[in-house]
Amino acid sequence: MHVKLRIIPTLKLLAQENRYIVGVAVCVSLINGILPFVIILGNSEILNSLMQASYQQVWQQLGLTYAIYILGQVAVNVGQRYLDVQMVNVDERLKLRLRRSWMMVDFEQLETDDFFAQMNQSETSFRYSGGFAVFMQQLNQTIQSVTSLSVGIGVTVTLIVLGINQSKLMALLSIASLGLILFGEWLGLIWYRRLTVQNLKIFRILMKQERVLNYFLLEVINRYEIIKSIKLNQFTTVIMKHYREQWATSQKTNEAYIGNQFQSRVVTTVMTGLPISVLVALLIVKIRLKILKIGSLNNLFGSLVQVAASSTALVTAYQNLERFEQQTEFIHHQLLKPNVLKKKQRVTAGRVITFENVSFRYASGKLALNHVNLVLPIQGTTAIIGENGSGKTTLVKLLLGLYHPTSGRVTLDGVDIQALNREDYLKLFSPVFQDYAVFDFSLKENMIANHVEDPAMLDTLLRRWQLRPWIQKLPKQLETIVGSYSSENFQPSGGQKQQIALVRGGYQAGKLALLDEPTASLDPLKELTTFQNIKRFSLQQPTIFITHRLGAAKIADRVLLMKSGQLIADGTPEELKQVSPEFRTLWAAQARIYR
Amino acid sequence: MMETFRNWKSVFRLFVMTIKKLVVFGLWLGDIGCSTLFLTLFTLLPAIIIRLTTSSLSTWIIAIFIGGMAAVAYGLAGLDTQIQSHLAKKTFLFRYQYLPKFAQDIFQWPQETLDSVEGKTLIDQGYEAIYNGGNTGLEAILNRTFDFSRNLVQGMALLFIMGWANIGSVIWLLGLNALALLLQRWRNNWFIKHKPERNRINTQVSNLVRTLMQRQNGKDIRLFHFDSVFTKYFQRFIRQLVDWQRKYVRISANVNGIQVMLNTLGIVGALGWLIFTKSNVDVIITFMVAIQAFNGRLIALFQDLTEIGRNQVYVADLEKFLAVADQQKHSGKKQVAAIERITFDRVSYSVNETEVIHDVSFSIGKGETVAIVGENGAGKTTLIKLMCGLYQPTQGEIRVNNQPLRELDMADYWRRVAVEFQDDILLHVTVSENVSGKPLASTDSKRVVWALRQSGLANLSPDTIIGNELDPKGISLSGGQQQSLLFARVLYRKAEIVIFDEPTAALDPLAEQNFYDKFMATFNNQLNVLISHRLGSTLRANQILVMQAGRIVQQGNHQMLVKQKGLYQKLWLAQKQLYQGKE
């Protein structure tokens, strides 16, 4: 059946994290499904014995029935304990796997809107569905309900069929009852199926709408550092207006969803009421004809109560399962992707990076680089300058292999970088971008990231980029955890963050340092020292830096001037001053202040 | 227990205030009536059948009569479900109206609360109370309340039926189940006491996940392999969560086990007593059916109480959250006519016993431009936040004209201040709305176009939507374009105080020059404050405040300061050196 096929991937995922959990869950559910019938059948026997007034038998049966029942409950208790703890474990581990898979995604795919939409959607789904723990609950409920349902139906059918061969009338009545019930149930199932389809549709729409509401929460309301500017600029009205529109739409969908869910329950009621009404009449006839004993009444009622309860539970559980499967489509896709590692060439040395007629166009159609040809030996200092939007950062991203050229290629010592082992290639660089992130980890972790700790190197870098003074003032120094969720509540200033990013880049100990606007947030003193350091260490640490500070370009050995995605000037600072009018304009715009 | 009841009462009272009482009351009565009637009919059916089958009535009449009764009973059950559906919609609406209120309230919070850990936790927990659908939070409490009342009345009806048959068994049954209920309370109390601990862990996890989902972090995570650090933290949190769960399950499962025992003992005892006292068969069968149904009701009752107990903490959380916004209404009420002067009089500001701003005094008048310079971490941005009224000084006083700032109506004051911070964002709405900060209906579109032109964004159409991951049709702007758009926002405002915090950090030299030219040309009648590392911006300032370690160490204009031996001269020469001298 449709759902069964899709439950299998989820079960596979669960089994990957914990071998026993599915087995334990199935056992617990089966026992839970059967236990009520122990009581029902036991009680019926007791009733029959009572009618015969054989009291010794009565007490024996009472003892036996309830002893089995208690044993069963003990088993369920033990199993459930295990499940309750392990499901949290499995659930969290699967969530972690999912989040890790986000972190591993290819950079180019990362920047697409589609990927981010999926990521957001899976987080919303997790929140709304309750995660794998709830899946397990629903699965348990389903197995339990199906078990109860089967046993209950079995008992009921037995009651119908008993005595069918006694007389033609009996046979006719029994078959007619069965036929009537089956027909009614079939109609009910159709109605129910239609409701389920509607339910899934509404839910899909609901998830989309909840995602948008989530945007307002995540992007705007929960970005605490932004709220001050929203208050000052009184953006509240605009934001609330858009929010309320979304909210009103979502409200209607929610109501439709609730209505649908209760409709399903009405269907179940009708589908239970029909057999009960028919069967109870049939049973009366059979009792009158002495085909059945009084005890069977208890069997009938008990079983039908169970059947009713199980159907209601099954209906809800089934819908939840289908829904869960729908939401976790993306999760399955991510987690069950086969690991295909293409064999790539290892990088041993690195001398020259070449851009061979490279062009790059964004997915939106915007052309960022236009037939750029460039030979970059990994040595000395190179400055990349140009107006905003001229393609400087794109150039660096292509250099790092974060983007793939739309045409042309980037090579290292003649080999296309796409064919090289990505890890090796990235290790060549120490990059520091403009929009560096400082995470809510310790300062040390923010700087060392994944590398082995080397106190000497760390110390050198802390001194070079001048962090020592303020780190020493912190009570926990390098172990201070950044961010408002730690007790220290340490929020580094803009400049301090830039310094952290510089140390992080340097710690990577790549052959080539790539700095994108490394001093944008630094004061003049630190700015001067930064560029002096870049110059001083240029022998050990070749550097490429992007900057608007044309004065800094002066210290470089080589300057690349970009405009509208093209490289329009390439040479030493003196050469450019003489040859390029664009360079002179940019220079004058800043330098005139200091005359 | 008192706590639970108090919280429950709060929610229920709020709910009752928002609904049409007569309608909901009618629905509630209908729900209870139909469900109890159904259950009673169903329970008495076996006894009725036995009486009728042992009588002399015709088989067919009995069969049809009983069949009809069963059909009527189930009809009632169906009707009951319909009624429940309406009730569920009402509780949903109640919860749902809190969502926009939640959003709106956060915007009114004082900045210090927003910056603090307690504040952020309150927000997270308030969110949990209302954003988790019908299974958790406010809606769950109300739904469970209705369930509880229904189960209670049904249970009582069953008890009555059983008691009428044999009172001794019922007393025994009730006694044991009361014991079971007490255990329930014990478990709930444990949960309430320990939930904040789990909350804290989950908040931290959410924070990390949010960080992961921000687009600009993706680069660094890959370039530096931060994934292993993230994993380490996630795994630590997983261990903590599993430990918590283990402790909870231990108590929960033990309580469950004992409850089951008590329950079983109850049934066995009741049945045993009936058998021992040689009751009638129809009494016994009624009892058997009734006990099964009663069991079901009891379990449901226990679950309802547990869920109400589990969710009532959210009420407390939400109330704490709402209380913060209420506190804010007690801010100042005064308004000034026209802003002529801002004075800082020996202002100090501390955070967590660390002094960030120390004894700062200065004054800015209308038409003046003040530049604030200094090394990183000197306190420049904090000074601005004090000037905006986002923070309150711990010592000293800030005055606007001659009124203390703390006595002013903040909403009015903020309308007259335009600030551009370093970490400002653009919203996923049209360019016009981003510039004006108002809905389109209240936006002066001509002024928007003017502001865009002045900031060098003449090519940007005001109707374009700034894109994000939810809307692939939106455009994305480069860093420089974003900064220019933020400048347009300030231009649009017609504010009396204009403040810029590092407005040209992302701009190329030509755009930077354009900025300064526009700045000097446009803001003539305002009080202008500029923080910048680019000392070129300070040339034409009337006053320059040089800050170091939270103090103002030098004050004056450029010509004066450049000659004094001090920090300003050092900064100036350092920048100049980049352009002229040798290293």
- The alpha-carbon gap from B132 to the nearest alpha carbon of chain A, in Å, equals 6
Select the residue of B216, B293, B421 nearest A435 (Cβ to Cβ).
B216
The answer to which of B29-43, B267-281, B471-485, B507-521 has the lowest mean pLDDT is B471-485
A109, pLDDT greater than 80? no
Q: A364 and A297 in one domain? A: no
Its sign, for the CA torsion A346, A351, A356, A362, is positive
CATH topology of domain B2-328: ABC transporter transmembrane region fold (1.20.1560)
Select the residue of B67, B214, B292 nearest A281 (Cβ to Cβ).
B67
Instruction: Considering only CA atoms, give the Rg of chain A.
Output: 36
Select the residue of A388, A523, A548 nearest B571 (Cβ to Cβ).
A523
Q: A329 and A356 in one domain? A: no
Do the Cβ atoms of A342 and A419 come closer than 8 Å?
Answer: no
Q: How far is CA B139 from the centre of its chain?
A: 16
Q: Which two tokens stand for residue B7?
A: 């919280």
Q: What is d(CA B74, CA B78) in angstroms, rounded to the nearest whole number? A: 6
Q: A366 and A303 in one domain? A: no
Mean pLDDT of B97-114: 82
Which of A228-242, B376-390, B548-562 has the largest mean confidence? B548-562
Q: A388 and A307 in one domain? A: no
Q: Which two tokens stand for residue A165?
A: 């061969």
Do the Cβ atoms of B120 and A484 come closer than 8 Å?
Answer: yes
The 10 Å Cβ neighbour count of residue A510 is 20
Q: What is d(CA B274, CA B256) in angstroms, rounded to the nearest whole number? A: 27
Instruction: CATH number of the domain at A469, please.
Output: 3.40.50.300
Task: Kindly report, residue by residue over B370-407, the tens digit of the pLDDT.
Answer: 999 988 778 888 899 899 888 889 999 999 988 898 88
Q: Do B296 and A309 touch (CB under 8 A)?
A: yes
Q: Do A99 and B212 touch (CB under 8 A)?
A: yes
Reported as a pLDDT band with limits 50, 70 and 90, residue B348 is very high
- From chain B, the residues in CB contact with A302 under 8 A are 288-289, 292
Q: Which residues contact B574 (CB under 8 A, 6 or more apart)?
A: A524, A525, A527, A528
Mean pLDDT (chain B, rounded)? 85
Q: What is d(CA A381, CA A399) in angstroms, rounded to the nearest whole number? A: 16
| Residue A89 included in any domain | yes
- Specify the long-range contacts of residues B566-570, CB closer than 8 Å, at least 24 apart: B567/B374, B567/B375, B568/B373, B568/B544, B570/A525
Domain end among A335, A364, A381: A335
- From chain B, the residues in CB contact with A493 under 8 A are 376-377, 381
CATH, range B341-426+477-579: 3.40.50.300
Instruction: CATH number of the domain at A115, please.
Output: 1.20.1560.10
Task: Kindly report, residue by residue over B212-265, the tens digit of the pLDDT.
Answer: 877 778 778 877 888 888 999 999 999 999 999 999 999 999 998 998 898 889
Cα→Cα distances A280→A177, A285, B70, B221, Å: 10, 9, 8, 68
Report the alpha-carbon angle A169-A173-A179, nearest 5. Answer: 145
| Residue A287 included in any domain | yes
A415-416 and A407-412 strand pairing: antiparallel
Share of chain B above pLDDT 70, in %: 96
Report the alpha-carbon angle B577-B580-B583, nearest 5. Answer: 50
Task: Kindly report, residue by residue over A430-459, the tens digit of the pLDDT.
Answer: 888 877 788 888 899 999 887 888 899 999
Do the Cβ atoms of A219 and B468 come closer than 8 Å?
Answer: yes
Task: Kindly report, residue by residue over A177-190, the tens digit of the pLDDT.
Answer: 888 888 998 998 89
| Residue A495 included in any domain | yes
The residue with tokens 């209120």 is: B101
- For residue B149, the model assigns a pLDDT of 95
Q: A380 and A232 in one domain? A: no
A341, pLDDT greater than 70? no
Stronger pLDDT, B475 or A205, i.e. the higher one? A205
Select the residue of B85, B204, B230 nearest A258 (Cβ to Cβ).
B85
Q: A409 and A364 in one domain? A: yes
Q: Do A113 and B469 touch (CB under 8 A)?
A: yes
Please give the single-letter amino acid code of residue B354: T
Select the residue of B81, B117, B209 nearest A262 (Cβ to Cβ).
B81
- For residue A222, the model assigns a pLDDT of 61
Q: What is d(CA A473, CA A464) in angstroms, rounded to the nearest whole number? A: 18
In three-state secondary structure terms, A493 is coil
Q: A367 and A264 in one domain? A: no
Q: Do B224 and A504 touch (CB under 8 A)?
A: yes
The answer to which of A331-340, A363-372, B10-19 has the lowest mean pLDDT is A331-340
Stronger pLDDT, A223 or B397, i.e. the higher one? B397
Q: Which residues contact B369 (CB under 8 A, 6 or more apart)?
A: B520, B523, B528, B529, B530, B540, B541, B542, B543
Dmax of chain B from CA atoms?
123
Cα→Cα distances A149→A194, A270, B95, B182, Å: 22, 16, 36, 33
Comparing alpha-carbon positions, the chain B residue that sits nearest to A587 is B509
Q: Do B100 and A435 touch (CB under 8 A)?
A: no
Q: Do B215 and A269 touch (CB under 8 A)?
A: no
DSSP state of B133: G
| Residue A345 included in any domain | no
Q: Which residues contact A142 (CB under 8 A, 6 or more apart)?
A: A29, A314, A317, A318, A321
What b-and-e string marks burial along A399-417, b requiring 16 or more CB atoms within 10 Å of the CB? bbbbbebeebbbbbeeeeb
Q: Do A238 and B438 touch (CB under 8 A)?
A: yes
- The alpha-carbon gap from B573 to the nearest alpha carbon of chain A, in Å, equals 9
Helix (H) or strand (E) holding B205: helix B167-212
Instruction: Considering only CA atoms, give the Rg of chain B.
Output: 35
Domain end among A335, A360, A388: A335
Q: Do A387 and B468 touch (CB under 8 A)?
A: no
B163, pLDDT greater than 80? yes
Select the residue of B116, B215, B578 nearest A552 (Cβ to Cβ).
B578
Helix (H), strand (E), coil (C) string for A400-463: HCCCCCCEEEEEECCEEHHHECHHHHHHCEEEECCCCCCCCCEHHHHHHCCCCCCHHHHHHHHH
**Domain limits for position A574:** 352-594
Please give the single-letter amino acid code of residue A264: S
Domain end among A282, A300, A335: A335
Mean pLDDT of B526-545: 85
Q: Do A251 and B96 touch (CB under 8 A)?
A: yes
In three-state secondary structure terms, A540 is coil
Q: Do A116 and B215 touch (CB under 8 A)?
A: yes
Q: Which residues contact B243 (CB under 8 A, 6 or more apart)?
A: none
Comparing CA positions, the residue from B128, B199, B100, B201 lying closest to residue A221 is B100
Q: Do B571 and A66 touch (CB under 8 A)?
A: no
A364, pLDDT greater than 70? no
| Residue A92 included in any domain | yes
- From chain B, the residues in CB contact with A364 under 8 A are 475-476
Helix (H) or strand (E) holding A379: none
Q: Do B423 and A226 touch (CB under 8 A)?
A: yes
Cα→Cα distances B519→A135, A426, B45, B500, B514, Å: 59, 43, 88, 10, 8
Task: Kindly report, residue by residue over A282-310, the tens digit of the pLDDT.
Answer: 888 888 887 788 788 888 888 877 887 88
Q: What is d(CA B68, CA A103) in angstroms, rounded to the nearest whole number? A: 64
Comparing alpha-carbon positions, the chain A residue that sits nearest to B438 is A238
- Specify the long-range contacts of residues B228-232, CB closer than 8 Å, at least 24 apart: B228/A449, B228/A450, B229/A439, B229/A441, B229/A445, B229/A449, B229/A450, B230/A99, B230/A100, B230/A103, B230/A439, B231/A96, B231/A100
Comparing alpha-carbon positions, the chain B residue that sits nearest to A586 is B509
Q: Do B575 and A117 touch (CB under 8 A)?
A: no
Q: Do B533 and A522 touch (CB under 8 A)?
A: yes
- For residue B544, the model assigns a pLDDT of 92
- For residue B5, the model assigns a pLDDT of 86
For residue A156, which phi and psi values (nearest 5 degrees)? -65, -45
DSSP state of A421: -
- From chain A, the residues in CB contact with B571 under 8 A are 523-525
| Residue A340 included in any domain | no
- From chain B, the residues in CB contact with A402 under 8 A are 219, 222
Number of domains in chain A: 2
Select the residue of A40, A81, A227 nearest B107 (Cβ to Cβ).
A227
| Alpha helical stretches, state H, A474-554 | 494-507, 524-536, 550-553
Mean pLDDT of B564-579: 86
Q: What is d(CA B320, CA B240) in angstroms, rounded to the nearest whole number? A: 26
In chain A, the N- to C-terminal Cα span, in Å, equals 82
- The alpha-carbon gap from A44 to the nearest alpha carbon of chain B, in Å, equals 9
Task: Kindly report, residue by residue over A155-178, the tens digit of the pLDDT.
Answer: 888 888 877 777 788 888 888 888
Q: A490 and A376 in one domain? A: yes
B533, B535, B547, B558: best to mutate for the A interface, most A CBs within 10 A: B533
Comparing alpha-carbon positions, the chain A residue that sits nearest to B378 is A493
- The alpha-carbon gap from B396 to the nearest alpha carbon of chain A, in Å, equals 23
Q: Do B104 and A247 touch (CB under 8 A)?
A: no
Q: Do B479 and A388 touch (CB under 8 A)?
A: yes
Q: How big is chain B, counted in residues?
A: 583
- For residue A194, the model assigns a pLDDT of 92
Mean pLDDT of B413-427: 82
- For residue A221, the model assigns a pLDDT of 62
Its sign, for the CA torsion B111, B117, B119, B124, is positive
| Residue A344 included in any domain | no
In DSSP terms, B475 is beta-bridged to: B466
- Label residue B225 left, alpha or beta by phi (over 0 means left) and psi (-120 to 50 means alpha): left
Comparing CA positions, the residue from A134, A574, A237, A81 lying closest to residue B247 is A81
Q: A180 and A274 in one domain? A: yes
Select the residue of A297, A440, A585 nearest B208 (Cβ to Cβ).
A440
Q: How far is CA B477 from the centre of its chain?
A: 30
B106 burial (CB, 10 Å; 0-12 / 13-18 / 19+) is buried
- In order, the DSSP letters of A313-376 are HHHHHHHHHHHHHHHTHHHHHHHT--------B------EEEEEEEEEE-TTS-EEEEEEEEEE
Q: Do B257 and A77 touch (CB under 8 A)?
A: yes
Task: Kindly report, residue by residue over A24-58, the tens digit of the pLDDT.
Answer: 999 999 999 999 999 999 988 888 888 888 888 88
The answer to which of A332-341, A383-392, B54-63, B435-444 has the lowest mean pLDDT is A332-341
- From chain B, the residues in CB contact with A51 under 8 A are 281
B143, B469, B540, B558: best to mutate for the A interface, most A CBs within 10 A: B469
Q: What is d(CA B3, CA A575) in angstroms, rounded to the nearest whole number? A: 79
Comparing alpha-carbon positions, the chain A residue that sits nearest to B440 is A238
Q: Do B210 and A222 touch (CB under 8 A)?
A: yes
Comparing CA positions, the residue from B342, B332, B336 lying closest to residue B368 is B342
- The alpha-carbon gap from A264 to the nearest alpha carbon of chain B, in Å, equals 10
- From chain B, the residues in CB contact with A522 under 8 A are 376, 533
What are the residue ranges of CATH 3.40.50.300 in chain B?
341-426+477-579
Q: A490 and A391 in one domain? A: yes
- The alpha-carbon gap from B67 to the nearest alpha carbon of chain A, in Å, equals 5
Q: A387 and A316 in one domain? A: no
| Residue A460 included in any domain | yes
Q: A382 and A311 in one domain? A: no
Q: Which two tokens stand for residue A306?
A: 């169970």
In three-state secondary structure terms, A261 is helix
Q: Which two tokens stand for residue B85?
A: 């559906």
DSSP state of A453: P
What are the residue ranges of CATH 1.20.1560.10 in chain B?
2-328
- From chain A, the residues in CB contact with B529 under 8 A are none
Cα→Cα distances B296→B256, B283, B301, B362, Å: 15, 20, 9, 75
